[in-house]
Every structure is written in C-alpha cells, then in structure tokens.
Amino acid sequence: MSSFEELLNKIDGRLDIHAKFINTFSFLEYIGARKILKSQADHQLTEPLLAHASEEIRHSLILKNLALKLSQGLLTTYQDVHLLCGSASKKYIQTVDHEIEKSLNSELNIKNVFLNYLLTTLLLEKRVVQIYPAYNKTLGTLGFPNKFVAIMSDEGKHLQSITQSLKEHPQSTGELVTSLLKMESGAFEEFMSAVQVSL
C-alpha cells in the first residue's frame, strides 16, 4: 500500500478533511494550467498547449465543485484555511518544475522551455494516474462514485501524448528521466508527510 493510500485510509469518513484535500488538488490543477500558460512565449502557444491548459482548468473546476459539495459550500477559495497543507502542495509542484529546469541546464546544458514543459507534465501525469484512481475508489465508498473518471481519462490521454512528444527529444530519455522520477517521488513524499503531520 502506498503512502497516499495509507493517508486515504487515515482520513476515511472525515468529509471535512477530504473536502480540503480535494480542494488542494483543485489548486494544483489550477497551478498546472497557469504554469503552462506562463512558461511559453505568446508565439509558442499552440492549439495543443491551449487545449491542455483548458483541460487543467476544467479539472480544477470539477474538483472545486466537489470540494464545495463535500464542505457544504465553505471552501470557496484557495486560501490556506481552505486547503490541506497548501504551502506544501505548492512546494511540491514548484520543486518538480524547478528541478527539471536545473537538470536540463546542468546535465544537458540546454534551456528549452518546451522540453521543460514536456518533462514536468510527464512526471505530474505519472503521479496523477497513480493517485486519482485510489481517490476515486475512496470517494465511491463515501457515496460519491466516479467523480474522478472524466479527469482520469483526460490525464491518461495527456500522458500518452507527452510520452509520444518526448520521442522527438531523445536527449531527455533514459538516465535523466529515471533521476527526475526519483526526484518527483521524494518531493511527493515530502508533501504527503506534511499532510500526515497536519492531521
């Protein structure tokens, strides 16, 4: 059992905590969309990039609406009081993004914002396709079935698309991706540890 599944078991039945946790994932989806738009110059914003950002915003909205439902309409914003370890969640996604940028600069000696986007998306989507199915199952036991199904379908497609795009950047495969996956795992576990301590 993963640390994330252990955490879901720990908060079993506590709808107030689930609401904040889901609102936190809504926040992360929003940050993801914002990063896509801010990382690319205007002339580089292609239809696929805009579509990806749009889908991340839609995911954020789906999760926000679920958080509102679970909290009886209380979690209206992304203020810290409405999130579960908001600063730790933001640190997680920022760490992944910044460490990829550093790795590209130091290991490959390149500054490529699109490749950074591809690798950041790869790592985050791999994480999402691990944790969202577990959360979908948990919510089903609480009387909220299949709330993550549409998002999981989109994220799976994103992962396939990103994996295909990375084939055009052979320098980004192999040892680099392995080390980045290890980095992301450590950053995610740090986030989960912060959540555990906060409960």
Mean pLDDT of the chain: 92
The single-letter code of the amino acid at 107 is E
Task: Return the pLDDT at 13.
Answer: 86
Task: Return the pLDDT at 174.
Answer: 79
Residue 110 in this model has a pLDDT that exceeds 80: no
Supply 40's token pair: 């690319």
Task: Return the pLDDT at 1.
Answer: 63
Per-residue pLDDT reduced to its tens digit, 5-28: 999 999 988 999 999 999 999 999
Helix H or strand E encompassing 61: helix 47-70
74 vs 107, higher pLDDT: 74
Where do we find the tokens 């995911």? 59
CA distance 160 to 31: 21
CA distance 124 to 55: 14
Supply 37's token pair: 């738009």
Mean pLDDT (whole number) for 48-63: 94
Residue 105 in this model has a pLDDT that exceeds 70: yes
Q: Would you place residue 2 in the very low, low, confident or very high pLDDT band (cuts 50, 70, 90)?
A: confident
Q: Are 122 and 173 in contact (CB under 8 A)?
A: no
Q: Are 114 and 44 in contact (CB under 8 A)?
A: yes
Q: Residues, the chain, total?
A: 199
CA distance 132 to 152: 7
Task: Return the pLDDT at 131.
Answer: 95
